[in-house]
Structure 1
Amino acid sequence: MIDGCPALECLLIRRGSGFRCVRINSISLRGIGVEVYWEDLRLEEVIIENAPCLEKLLLFGSAESRHISVISAPKLETLGCLSSHLSDFSQHDFSTTLTLYSTVIQGLRVHSLTETVRTVKILSVRMIALSLDVVIDLMRCFPCLERLYIDVTILP
C-alpha cells in the first residue's frame, strides 16, 4: 500500500488493531511514528525493510511488548522514545525490542552490539530510575550522538 504512495513523507500508525505486523518499503518516507496500546489483536511488529530517506523513527504510547526492526534506513538520525517498564500487576517486562541492523536493544538494555549505529544523532529515552550504566551502554551503541534526551519518571 505504501509503495503506491511515492509522495508520502510521514506515516503515523496510531492504535493499530486488527493486524499484528506492518512491513514498510518506501523510497519517500522521512518520518515514521508508531503508537501502540493494549488491545485483543494489536500491532506487535513493525519491520522497516527499505527506507532510504527515513530520518525519524518515533515510538509513542505505553511501553508494551512490541518488536521494531530496521533493516535498511541509512539516513536515520532521530530515534525515540526508547523505554523500559515493568507492569504494575506482574514482573513481566513490557518493553519494546528494537533491532537496528544487527544491534538488538530490549527496553533500554543493549543485548547484542555487533556494529554501532553511527547515523543516529538524536536519541530520546524514558526510564523509571536514572541508570548511568544504561546511558553509557546506549552511548556506545550510538557513538555519534549529538543530543540525548532522558526522561526519568519518579514513582511514588
Structure 2
Amino acid sequence: MKSNLITRTGHDQLVAELQHLWHEERPEITKKVNWAASLGDRSENADYQYNKQILRKIDRRVRYLGKRLEELRIIDFSPEQEGKVYFGAWVEIENDLGEQKTVRIVGVDEIYDHHPQNISIDSPMARAMLSKQVDDEFEVITPLGKKNWYINAIRYEKPENSSI
C-alpha cells in the first residue's frame, strides 16, 4: 500500500495539473472531438478516434487526481524535524566507495515529477534513513547486496511566510 503523504510543493503541483487538464486541455480536445464528429462517419475518422482517445486519457487522469487529492495528507516542515531525517528532507549521503548523492524524501505521487533526486518515503533507502542524524551510518539492502551509506548533511525547505 502506498503512503498518502505529500509535500506542500507536490500537492500544489498536482492541483495545478488538475486545473490545467480540466480548464485548458479538456475543453480544447472536446472542441476537436466535436469538430471531427461533425464530419460524419466516425469509424473511418482518424481525427475523431485519436482525439477521443486523448479525451479518455485526460478524463482518467482527472478522476484519479480528484480522488487522490482527497486522500493525501500534506506534511509541512516542523522545527522538531531539524537535525534528523524525516519526510521532506534533502539528505546528502555518501557510501564506502566515496559516491555521493543528494536525495529528497517525498510522497509516492512526487517521484514522477521529473526530479531525479526525489525518492519515495516507501523506498528501502528512505526507510533506512528515517530518524538518522548527520554522521550516522545506515544500511540498505539492494538486489546486489547490502550497501552502507553515511549522512553528510540534512536540510529542509521551510515555508517562505514563516519565521521558522
Same fold (TM over 0.5): no
Q: Which has the higher contact order (CA 8 A, sep 6+)?
A: 2
Structure with more of its chain in strand, by fraction: 1
Structure with more of its chain in helix, by fraction: 2
Kindly name which structure, 1 or 2, has the bigger radius of gyration based on alpha carbons: 2
State the TM-score, normalizing by the size of structure 2.
0.21
